[in-house]
Chain A
Amino acid sequence: MKYILKIYFLASVFAAFSCQDDFLDREPLDVLSTAGSLATTNELRLYVNQFYESFPGHPTITGNTGIAFSDATSDNMIITAVDTRLNGNLSQGNAARLTEYNNIRSVNYFLANYKNAGGDQALINQYLGEAKFFRAWFYFSLIKKYGDVTWVNTVLPADQEMTQLARDSRVVVVDSILADLDKAIALIPAVSTNAGMRVHKDVALAFKSRVALFEGTWQKYHKQDADPFWTKDISDDKIANYLAQAKQAAETIITSGRWSIYTTGKPLEDYGNLYTTLNLAGNKEVMLWRKYDANENIGHSISKYLSTGGGDIGVTLSLVDDYLTRTGTPFVGAARTEAQAVYGRELSPDLRDPRLSQTVAVPGKPLKPSAVVPAFPPINQSGFNRSTTGYPLYKYIEYNSASATFDDNKSSVPAILFRYAEVLLNYAEAMAELGESPALVAQALQPLRARVGMPDVDFDREYNNDPDYSFRNLDKVIQSVRRERRVELAAEGMRLDDIFRWSAADVLIAGKRPLGVLFVGSNIAQENTATGLYKDALLYYDNAPSGKSVNFYLTGNAQASLRYVDPYQRVLPNGFGFNLSRDYLLPIQDRMMQLTNGLWTQNPGW
């Protein structure tokens, strides 16, 4: 009996743990399997959603990043510190990984698997079109930074040899981008409202015009300058073809009549309001935009920094001067210095293109719920409370919101990604570059002028041949088109790309030094006294009394009657050190050359 008991005991114990074969098969529990993935249109949608996260947004810190502040890496705005790239101070050690390929891999995975999906063909087409659009988006980012890159359209294996691929000519890459966009244009239906917040046909067309114009002008002007950045065997016909594609894509949008310039008939407000309207749904000018909602902690910080007095950023004199007078003539000569003598007058919509006073802070305008823009610029303040040039940026400030002006990440003004104004500008520029009728160019730009109550474009009247004007040697039509673009798109993150594709760093950047407001010769200097508004933080320049030191720089010598704020004088005595035969493209990491066995080569000059 005892024996049987023992055997029963032992047998039951072993039985309890006897093997189930699948004990060690432990599939993940809380993630999606790739087996049979992307099988429904809903999965396609959620998958494509990841790419929307890559669209640029507004800055969460002060500095030179985000849509609103990234013009501070150009001649439009500056921060306290000199931009490393413009100053030729980038080094090989700054070379970054080509992280765009991560998203490109993701798109390629989609393209390899979307056919698993059944269901509504219209939806499948929409998401397939979006995927093509985004692949174009990521490659465009790569060619702008690096020029020639490898066109990859499959999901590569994790293998050192299989990834040894040479760089393709940028022309090959751009043609592939345009082909992707053509597919997207064909697949995605047109809509006449932006409320869906997804990429639609006209966005793809607008992006196509942006890419084709970029490449057409890049090749044209770098070829003209005979620098190392154009594609050596490119023909003038090929260049003209890019410009024609840019024109044609824009024209398709224009003739559709689905979009128009936003106006309510208030030339002094409409342009500015476009950037501070929290909900742009239904706006006829805005084709694609990024929404924010600080209540859900999805916000940015523009208003906090700009409402402190400048956020340590400033609009340059060069941009302020480029706005035409209210009568549509260049802002030069005696009229200019006369206006500058009283701070704020040179910004006034009475004298200047009203877009200026809706872009740069004008004394007396609301800044916070309880404060207005001070009568004199906060150039004597420190940190965020200071404006580097004396022209604080005003676009985007939510002056009515206490929380937005108080704290980081509480600003909610939208980031506009594609608007109809750019389509008109692309159209006008492509036509100007193709040498088409100036009257048609002027006609294309007319709605932009009409919104702000400016006279229509007149290429002769507004031609600026002032000896100090950077683009004085340009064709009248092209000069005008470029000015209109700079003014209309100021502080929207487009300027550096424009300078680079025009191969214009030689006249705009290299050896130049950005300036600020007129100081000596204006009423600002009068405040820099023991009884003036600057009495708590006096500015010393040229000479300082004993025990004090010079902390502020002005152009010219002590005798000069007109002296402008010259923020970089001490740190940049010879102007920006931009290297014209190197800095148009970024360096490539050494490891790329090694890992591809020399199939990748370094960019020119690096």
Chain B
Amino acid sequence: MANSLQFANFFNAATFNALGTRQYSEEKLKLLEQFIQNPAGMSIFPEVNSNDYANWENSANGVANTNWFNLHYKPYSLKQNHNVSLSGGNKTTQFFVSGGYYTEGGSMRFADIDYNRYNLNATVTSQVQSWVKVKANTKYTQSKYTSPFSGFENLFFHNLARMRPNVSPYDLNSNWTEQSMVPYLQSGSESREDETNLAILTGLEFEPVKKWKINVDLNLRQSTSEQTNLKLPGTIYGINGAPITVNRSEYNIPLKGSYGRNMLSSRYISPNIYSSYSLTIKENHGLDILVGFQQELNEFKSLAATAQDLISNSRPGISLATGSQAISESRTHWATRGGFARLSYNYKSKYLLELNGRYDGSSRFAADSRWGFFPSVSAGYNLDQETFLQENVAWLNQLKIRGSYGFLGNQSGAGLYSYAENMGITVPGIGTGGRWYYGAGREAYITVPGAFNPFITWEKIENANVGLDFGAFNSQLTGSFDIYQRNTRDMLGPSLDIADMYGATPPQTNNADLRTRGWELSLNWRGRINSNISYSFGGLLADNKSVVTKYQNPNNNDPRGAWYVGKTAGEIWGFRSPGLVQNPEAADAFNRLDHSFLSAQPWKPGDVIYEDLNSDGKINQGTNQLGNMGDLTIIGNSNARYSYSLNGSVSWKGLSLSMLWQGIGKRDFAPALLDAYFWGSGSLAQVTVFKEHLDYWTPENPGAYYPNPYASPVGSINSFVGKTQQISDRYLQNAAYLRLKNLTINYNLPVSWVQRVKLSKVNVFFSGENLLTQTKLAKMFDPETLVGGAAPGKIYPLSKIYSFGLGLSF
């Protein structure tokens, strides 16, 4: 973050460029400079002599030098991870039990954030009768997350970034100011989520006749979550030390507090019954037949209640409040059912052939469009079984060529009820719901039925794949290579665009085909230098690219936003820019072009030149149709290409070191108009200045990276930043990166020590995450958190995390 003087100068330049005025007077700039040099004896707030928080507006008032990020962020956070496991059994019955504990503290200085999780796994298998086998696997996890962000986490990070450094977090008595946001983090507000997940997988396996198996599995998952939200106002202090209760309306904290609970539960039940028979004919011909049935049912329910005006802040409750209450619920469910069959054949385990078929139905589709049949076929050839290879290429242990072709059905992209016409209802809550007061107060309202499509049906994914698996040098080297094409037919693409007279968002339809082609390569080496030292390293490299091959957009309208045939997923359209306007003559030359599409304001030195690619004297988007996009062209692609990971480990006796690097080889990121993190300037309340932003154009700094900063009120800012912040190749970011994701040092205590205390294994470890990053991306961003949060960059920070742990096995 820039210091207060840098910020003030930047802000002055930005408002002067747009409005012809400056918010920081010459006198104020002098005070800021003096404060940075030596704050001793200076008033941090010359404008006022009261702690009335409205005076502590995020404005030019105040003489401080606050780095708001350093104030709130800790440089690192700590994790702990502990595991215990136990296994054993006899000839007919085996079991495995393990438990673990994980805890993570937050990386905020004043916000007490805590996450912890317990988990317990138990597996038992038993051969009850010679023809019946039972297995049961239970997984239980319980987690708890608490933080003071009672619903304002996104706003907190949004506000943190736009705080001005000249505003002090402390008031005249060194208490926290309202603007510091610390009073809200320490008011006792708590949002808490308790989650429990229980997953049971039980199965019976019958073998009534030799080689005829019948499996009956039941998969059951029950998860419940309870969210409680206690919102309490913050406390600041007046000049006389008297406490003042404050509640910032955008955080939606009632002055007398509120308490809410939301109970969510979901249940998933899936029986899976299948039967297989295998037979061998004349020794060399192996045949497996399998038929089965599967169904799924998922039910979700939630019930939320909130009440405001707590009687006691220390004992909050929904019935311990005197103000208005609000209740809401949600209930959804979905189900699938289907049958499947498989026929596998092999000849001497050398040639493999498999035929598959599934017939599936889904509740997401109306009865007439509900069912789909999805066949597939695959074949393999184990070359290593060939005697000519075994004899001639002895170093090769394994070599398999395989291929497959077939269809899969996908229903998950469809809305749960998009086939049905329904009307939503909105009921009034605290600060939510209808805002109109009728004679007897606010009322509920019903909204028009959303667009629906009774013909919506399965997406059919056509897969073709060729692959190779190999192993060599006593399997020290292993690897595989795959190349595939995935053709999603009848895809639920973006809704088609129709004229506004329709008056709604058109419904989802199976209107698109998308073709993805890609490949994956993995290689691993595992070696041993002597009996004490072993090592391994390996890597994965993968790439794919998707192209739209069918879509209903006859005029190829709006190729930037909409789909069209031939569109590559992730393509970024933008202008070409040869640089910044350097002098009045260059500005005149640009102003002779019709640039009213971008901004009708005249260009001046320091603004960005956008190239008139089609030389029509206008800088615009043409008719916004493919082939007539004016001066817009594809300048990059936001999809990740060439994703890779590298891992390596070395162990010496009980000590081992391992690391994981991961990265993206090619990816572009285009900062949008008014992305404050990237541009620094924007509407008055959103200016966010990092050191990088100080490199903006002035006659004295003609080689600047950034153009003229502009800051003005919300309604007018676009006409200014339209001259500088268009998506263009000049400001396209290279978002490729390489990151040391994890480094772990582990020590297994010597077996002789461990056995003395009747344990089978004890290990201690230390690990660090995100320790090193190599990227050319602008420094205010993290390559892994470009998406999410209130805007690019405005998100809970991905910090370096150090953890340590202990594992015990009995």
- Which A residues lie at the B interface, using CB under 8 A? 6, 9-10, 13-14, 16-17, 19, 23-34, 37, 43, 45-47, 49-50, 52-53, 55, 57, 61-65, 79-84, 87-94, 97-99, 101-106, 108-109, 150, 152, 156, 158-160, 163-165, 195-198, 290-293, 295-299, 304, 308, 312, 382-385, 403, 405-410, 536-538, 547-549, 551-553, 568-571, 577, 590-592, 594-596, 600
Q: Most chain-A CB neighbours within 10 Å: which of B362, B443, B449?
A: B449
Other-chain residue from B370, B600, B621, B716 in contact with A88 (beta carbon distance below 8 A): B600
Cβ of A387 to closest chain B Cβ, rounded Å: 13
Among A27, A46, A65, which residue has its beta carbon within 8 angstroms of that of B444? A46
Beyond A24-B335, A49-B444, A109-B448, list 14 extra A-B contacts (CB 8 Å). A24-B336, A30-B329, A45-B443, A46-B443, A47-B423, A63-B714, A102-B503, A104-B503, A105-B504, A165-B501, A292-B437, A537-B27, A551-B20, A595-B555
Interface contact A53-B502, CB-CB below 8 Å: no
Q: Check if B396 is an interface residue, CB within 8 A of chain A.
A: no
> Considering the chains assembled together, what is the distance between the CA atoms of A157 and B273 in angstroms?
44
What mask results when residues 490 to 509 of chain B are scored 1 for a CB within 8 Å of chain A, else 0?
00000011111111101100
User: Are B715 and A79 in contact, with the CB atoms below 8 A?
Assistant: yes
Tell whether, in the assembled complex, residue A156 and residue B448 are in contact, meaning their CB atoms are under 8 Å apart. Answer: no
**Contacting pair A91 B430 (CB below 8 A):** no
B445: contacting residue among A33, A49, A594, CB under 8 A: A49
Known: A536-B47, A571-B20, A594-B623. A50 touches B445 (CB 8 A): yes
Instruction: Name B558's closest neighbour in chain A (CB-CB).
Output: A591
Contact with A along B241-258 (1 / 0, CB 8 A): 000000111101011000
Interface string of B403-440 (1 = CB under 8 A from A): 00000000000001100111111100011001111110
Pairwise interchain contact A30-B330, C-beta atoms closer than 8 A: yes
The verdict on A101 contacting B501 (CB below 8 Å), with A291-B437, A594-B555 known, is: yes
A81-B713, A297-B254 as given contacts; A31 in contact with B504, CB under 8 Å: no
Cβ-based interface call for B521 (8 A)? no
Indicate if the CB atoms of B445 and A551 lie closer than 8 Å. no
A152, A308, A577, A590: the one within 8 Å of B600 (CB): A577
Contact B499 A596 (CB under 8 A): yes
B271 at the interface (CB under 8 A from A): yes
Listed A/B pairs (7) with beta-carbon separation below 8 Å = A28-B417, A52-B436, A81-B715, A152-B501, A158-B498, A165-B499, A570-B20
Contacts of B598 in A (CB 8 A): 91, 93
Task: List residues of chain A with CB within 8 A of the CB of B424.
Answer: 31-32
Q: Please determine whether B502 and A156 come into contact, CB atoms closer than 8 angstroms.
A: yes
The residue from B273, B434, B712 contacting A17, defined by CB atoms under 8 A apart = B273
Q: Does B719 contact A (CB under 8 A)?
A: yes
Q: Which residues of B contact A296 (CB under 8 A)?
A: 324, 430-431, 442
Interface segment among B52-60, B568-576, B762-770, B777-785: the answer is B52-60
Q: From known contacts A80-B713, A548-B26, infer whether A406 and B434 are also in contact, taking CB-CB under 8 Å.
A: no
The answer to whether residues A408 and B250 also contact, given A109-B448, A571-B19 and a CB cut-off of 8 A, is yes
**Cα A519 to Cα B503 with chains together (Å):** 52
Q: B residues near A, CB below 8 A? A: 18-28, 46-47, 53-54, 57, 59-61, 131, 204, 206, 208, 214, 216, 247-250, 252, 254-255, 271, 273, 293, 295, 297, 323-324, 329-337, 361-363, 367, 370, 416-417, 420-426, 430-431, 434-439, 442-449, 451, 453, 496-504, 506-507, 552, 554-555, 557-558, 596-601, 620-621, 623-625, 684, 712-719, 722
**In this complex, what residue of A is CB-closest to B554?**
A160
Instruction: Name the contact of B21 in the complex, choosing from A10, A23, A80, A93 (C-beta under 8 A).
Output: A80
The reply to whether B431 and A297 contact each other, CB–CB distance below 8 Å, is yes
Q: Name the residue among B18, B247, B596 with the largest chain A CB count within 10 angstroms.
A: B596
| A595/B498 contact (C-beta < 8 A), A34-B449, A80-B712, A105-B448 known | yes
Residue of A nearest to B59 (CB): A383
* A49→B558 CA distance, assembly (Å): 36
Shortest CB–CB separation between residue A279 and chain B, in angstroms? 10
Closest residue on chain A to residue B432 by CB atoms:
A297
Report B690 CB to chain A, min CB distance, Å: 22
Q: A49-B445, A592-B500 are in contact. Are A407 and B248 (CB under 8 A)?
A: yes
Which 7 A-B pairs have CB atoms at the shortest separation, nearest pair first? A105-B503, A297-B431, A81-B716, A570-B20, A49-B445, A106-B448, A382-B23
* In the bound complex, CA of A571 to CA of B718 (Å): 15
B335 shortest CB reach to chain A, Å: 6
A405: chain B residues within 8 A (beta carbon): 54
Partner among A24, A47, A595 whose Cβ is within 8 Å of the Cβ of B337: A24
Instruction: Name the contact of A57 in the complex, choosing from B57, B214, B435, B497 (C-beta under 8 A).
Output: B435
The reply to whether B499 and A592 contact each other, CB–CB distance below 8 Å, is yes
Please count the residue pairs between chain A and chain B whose beta carbons lie under 8 angstroms apart in the complex.
Answer: 312
Q: How far is the CB of B463 from chain A (nearest CB, A)?
A: 25
Residues of A within 8 A of B216 (CB): 13
Contact, CB under 8 Å: A198 / B439: yes
Q: Are B20 and A89 in contact (CB under 8 A)?
A: no
Q: When the two chains form their complex, are residues B715 and A63 in contact, meaning their CB atoms are under 8 A apart? A: yes
Of the residues B420, B557, B716, contact of A27 by C-beta under 8 Å: B420
Given A27-B420, A50-B445, A84 contacting B719 (CB threshold 8 A):
yes
By the criterion CB–CB under 8 Å, are A196 and B438 in contact?
yes
B715 pairs with A92, CB closer than 8 A: no
Q: For A9, what are the chain B residues with a Cβ–Cβ distance below 8 Å?
A: 206
Collect the chain B residues with CB atoms within 8 Å of residue A592's CB: 499-500
Q: Is the CB of B713 within 8 A of A30?
A: no
Cβ contact within 8 Å between A50 and B448: yes
Q: Is the CB of B331 within 8 A of A30?
A: yes
CA–CA, A163 and B499, complex, Å: 6
Q: Which of A83, A195, A295, A382 contacts B59 (CB 8 A)?
A: A382
Least CB distance from A402 to B in Å reads 10
A105 to B503, CA, bound (A): 5
Identify which of B363, B416, B442, B596 contacts A91 (C-beta below 8 A): B596
A409→B249 contact, CB < 8 A? yes
A49 with B206: in contact, given A26-B363, A92-B620, A298-B435 (CB under 8 Å)?
no
Contact of B57 among A46, A50, A101, A383 (CB under 8 A): A383
Give Cα distance in the complex from A308 to B58, angstroms: 13
**Residues of chain B within 8 A of A290, CB atoms compared:** 436-437
- Structural contact, B498 and A31, CB atoms closer than 8 A: no
Q: Judge whether A6 and B437 touch: CB under 8 Å.
A: no
Residues of B close to A551: CB separation below 8 A: 20-22, 25
Min Cβ gap B10→A in Å is 15
**Contact of A49 with B23 in the complex, beta carbons under 8 Å:** no
Q: Are A383 and B60 in contact (CB under 8 A)?
A: yes
A304 vs B61: C-alpha distance when bound (angstroms): 17
A50 to B336, CA, bound (A): 36
Interface centre among A83, A195, A594, A600 (most CB of B within 10 A): A594
A98, B500: Cβ atoms closer than 8 Å:
yes
Nearest B residue to A9, CB-CB:
B206
